[in-house]
Structure 1
Amino acid sequence: MTTGGKAAALGRLLARAGDDIPVRTPRVPAREAAERELSDPRYHQHDPNPLQQCLNWFGNRIDDLFKAAAGATPDGWFGLLTVITVVLLLIVALRLRLGAIRRTATTSRALFAETPRTAAEHRSAADRHAAEGHWSQAMQERMRAIVLALEERALLTPGPGRTADEAAAAAGRAFPAHAGQLNAAARAFDDVTYGGRPGTEREYALLTALDSDLRDARPHLAAPAGSRA
Structure 2
Amino acid sequence: MAQFLSHLTLLTSPVDIDRDQARREAVQELLKPEYARESPVDRVTRAVDQFLGDLLDQESVGAVGSVAARIVLVVLVIAAVVAVVVIARRTAGGGAARQEGIFGDRRRTAAEHRDAAERLAAEGRWAEAVRERLRAVARDLEDRVIVDSTPGRTAGELAAEAGRALPAFASDLAAAARVFDDVTYGEVPGTAESYGVLRDLDERLRTARPTLGAAAEAVTP
TM-score for the superposition, normalised by structure 1: 0.57
> Which residue number corresponds to residue 119 of structure 1?
110
Select the residue among 149, 168, 172 that pairs with 1:177: 168
> Which residue number corresponds to residue 89 of structure 2?
99
> Which residue number corresponds to residue 39 of structure 2?
none
Contact 2:102 2:152 (C-alpha < 8 Å) held by counterparts: yes
Contact 1:118 1:148 (C-alpha < 8 Å) held by counterparts: yes
Contact 2:94 2:185 (C-alpha < 8 Å) held by counterparts: no
> Which residue number corresponds to residue 133 of structure 1?
124
Is structure 2 residue 150 aligned with structure 1 residue 159? yes
Deviations 1:47-67 (A, max 9, x none): xxxxxxxxxxxxxxxxxxxxx
Deviations 1:74-112 (A, max 9, x none): 6xxx9xx97xx67x8376555444333422442316222
Q: CA deviation at 1:144?
A: 0.9
- For 1:226 and 1:125, locate their aligned partners in 2 and report how far apart those are by CA, in whole Å: 30
Change (3 A) 1:73 1:161: same
Q: CA deviation at 1:123?
A: 0.5
- For 2:102 and 2:108, locate their aligned partners in 1 and report how far apart those are by CA, in whole Å: 12
- For 1:139 and 1:100, locate their aligned partners in 2 and report how far apart those are by CA, in whole Å: 22
- For 2:194 and 2:82, locate their aligned partners in 1 and report how far apart those are by CA, in whole Å: 39
> Which residue number corresponds to residue 198 of structure 1?
189
- Select between 114-123 and 98-107 the one with higher mean Cα deviation: 98-107
Change (3 A) 1:141 1:224: farther
- For 1:154 and 1:163, locate their aligned partners in 2 and report how far apart those are by CA, in whole Å: 17
Tell me which structure has the larger Cα radius of gyration: 1
User: What is the RMSD computed on CA atoms of the aligned residues?
Assistant: 3.2
Identity %, equivalent residues: 46
Q: CA deviation at 1:116?
A: 2.1
Q: CA deviation at 1:127?
A: 0.5
Q: Give the 3-state SS of the residue equivalent to 2:158 in structure 1.
A: helix
Give the residue type in structure 1 aligned to 2:96. Answer: T
- Matched ranges for 1:73-92 at <5 A: 73=13, 89=78, 92=82
TM-score for the superposition, normalised by structure 2: 0.59
Select the residue among 118, 141, 144 that pairs with 2:135: 144
Select the residue among 202, 212, 221 that pairs with 2:203: 212
> Which residue number corresponds to residue 108 of structure 1?
98
- For 1:161 and 1:178, locate their aligned partners in 2 and report how far apart those are by CA, in whole Å: 22
Q: CA deviation at 1:174?
A: 1.8
Deviations 1:125-184 (A, max 9, x none): 101111101111111111110011010111110111211111111111222211121111
Change (3 A) 1:113 1:212: same
Change (3 A) 1:164 1:225: farther
- How many residue pairs get aligned? The number is 156
Q: CA deviation at 1:220?
A: 1.9
Change (3 A) 1:96 1:128: same
Deviations 1:175-220 (A, max 9, x none): 2211121111111111111111112212222221211111112222
